[in-house]
Structure 1
Amino acid sequence: MIPANTPAGAVASQLLAYFTSGDLAPGTRLPPERQLAQLLGTGRSAVREALAALEILGVVHVRPGSGTYLRASASELLPQTLSWGLMLGEQRVEDLLQIRAALEVLAAEIAATRAAPDNLAALRGHLAQMEEHQDDYADFVEADMLFHQEMAAASGNQTLSGVLQSVRALLRIWVDRSISAEGEARDAVAEHKRVLEALTAHDPAAAHAAMTSHMHTANQRIVDQEELPGPRSGQFPFSDVSAT
């Protein structure tokens, strides 16, 4: 992890600003560590640590014996700046849960007015997978995640989908651990069913109510975990975020 107030955190922030400026094309080879350190006025160890973190995030790719290369274009990197900023800063789980809840409710409301038959069919498929895997928590969480991604896609708002994905990525480690008993999985299935019923009926008010209720209980399951790792002390582990 890289706290924002360390030399490596400052270097990572500077590099991200440069990568999203539009001046670099995907596949561009970055200057060597020594040159970057001179350009940024910092030590090579800070540059090395910042690049290692950015590689974990998928921003750059290190080719042994060749160098470090930028993975994506500015347009592809920009939607991720929210998650990078949060990871480099000191945010708390409760803050992210509040943000996620508001965005999920908004996505549900919009999706209720725009969901196409293909979206609804995909949502039914993900819900069926959740029902089938109530005792297989890894598969259950995966189906749950896909349900929410499809719902956001059904809203037709790509910006909303991108921001939601960034927030979900930051919360993934805690979401993965929030379903720990069959009764909790059964409750979650019932909550998703109510959301899907509202979307199928194209009823924004019902979608708002169903998702608000689901977010309340889903967030409470996370908060009720006996011990939340990492962010309780104000930092996010890069390795956990990169899992999505």
Structure 2
Amino acid sequence: MSVNSAASTAKISAALGSMDQGSVVSEVAERLLAYFTSGEIAVGTRLPAERQLAASLGVGRSAVREALAALEILGIVIVRPGSGTYLRDDISELLPRTLSWGLMLGAPRTRELVELRGGLEVQAGQLAALRISDEALERMRANLATMEGSLDDLGVFVEADAAFHREIASSSGNQVLQELLQSIRSLLRIWVDRALTEKGHAADALAEHWEIFRALESRNEAAVTAAMHSHMETAARRLLAGLDAGLDAGQTGASA
């Protein structure tokens, strides 16, 4: 590590200060976000290693790792394999405050985001039932085939799941609704990934998606509403179970 890099690391660690042992991922992320967007460190700066940030904040490395993952999703930092994590050089000065909601991982408002997402997905489905094209349905069928063939590869499964929902949002014909859903999904992504921790969970989710697809294929708005509402209820239970598990792990990591 160069002298300048070591100086930057020391400056960042000192500026962050330590946190109470009970702190969770959301607080770590908010502390990092506030500092990284304060203008006190230069864009493109290489950030200290996870263990150094964890030591500075007085939390477990897992909390820092998850906080940095959330910041990467929001475009605040960029991870360069084999090199490290850097502060991006194209952070918008107009970064909406609402984006920081996604960093309240483990906070009550994350539960509210889950609740909001459910309502918006149902509305998107209702509009899509009236407007969806045959081409969009074919793409969704392909998404389902990918999900069906990826029950043992949850990373691929989750990507196909997300693509399925993006088609519905796009087919709603409402750009504002589409963008709101995309933002919420991005903010909740870390918990969505955790929600499908077992093959059985993925199989259940696949069956729910087929119900939605069949209802959309028939252009039956009432059936789409029922199928999407049911899926959102079970998806929310899975997602919140992952959230609770993450909070428990964060508490354990902080006290380790």
Q: Which residue of 2 aligns with 1:141?
A: 158
Is residue 2:209 matched to residue 1:196?
A: no
In structure 1, what is the Cα distance between the partners aligned to 2:150 and 2:71?
Answer: 33
Using the aligned pairs only, state the percent identity: 36
Q: CA deviation at 1:134?
A: 1.2
Consecutive unaligned residues in structure 1, runs of 5 or more: 16-29, 34-52, 62-67, 234-244
Find out whether 1:205 has 2:222 as its counterpart: yes
In the alignment, is the contact (CA less than 8 A) between 1:107 and 1:155 conserved in 2?
yes
Post-superposition Cα deviations, 1:84-130, rounded to whole Å, max 9, x if no partner, equal 34437984332121011111111111111111111111111101111
SS at match of 2:75: coil
Q: CA deviation at 1:183?
A: 2.3
Q: Which amino acid in the other structure matches residue 90 of structure 2?
A: R
**Residues of 1 paired with 2:216 and 2:159: CA distance?**
21
What TM-score, normalized to structure 1? 0.64
Match of 1:83 in 2: 99
Q: What is the aligned length?
A: 200
* Paired residue secondary structure (1:162): helix
Is the Cα contact below 8 Å between 1:105 and 1:212 reproduced in 2?
yes
Instruction: Please report how far the alpha carbon of residue 82 of structure 1 lies from its aligned counterpart in structure 2 after TM superposition.
Output: 3.1
Residue 151 of structure 1 is aligned with which of 158, 168, 180? 168
Matched, 1:102 2:119: yes
For 1:164 and 1:200, the matched residues in 2 are separated by 22
Question: Per the alignment, do residues 119 and 72 of structure 1 end up closer, same or farther by CA in structure 2, a change over 3 Å counting?
Answer: farther
Give, in whole Å, the separation in 2 of the partners of 1:7 and 1:218. Answer: 30
- Report the 3-state secondary structure (helix = DSSP H, G, I; strand = E; otherwise coil) of the residue aligned with 1:228: helix
SS in 1 for 2:230: helix
Matches within 5 A, 1:28-47: none
**1:1-244 mapped onto 2 (5 Å cutoff):** 3=27, 56=72, 57-58=74-75, 71=90, 82-87=98-103, 91-92=107-108, 93-225=110-242, 227-229=244-246
CA distance in 1, matches of 2:186, 2:246: 15
Structure 2 stretches of 5 or more lacking a match?
1-24, 44-67, 79-86, 251-256
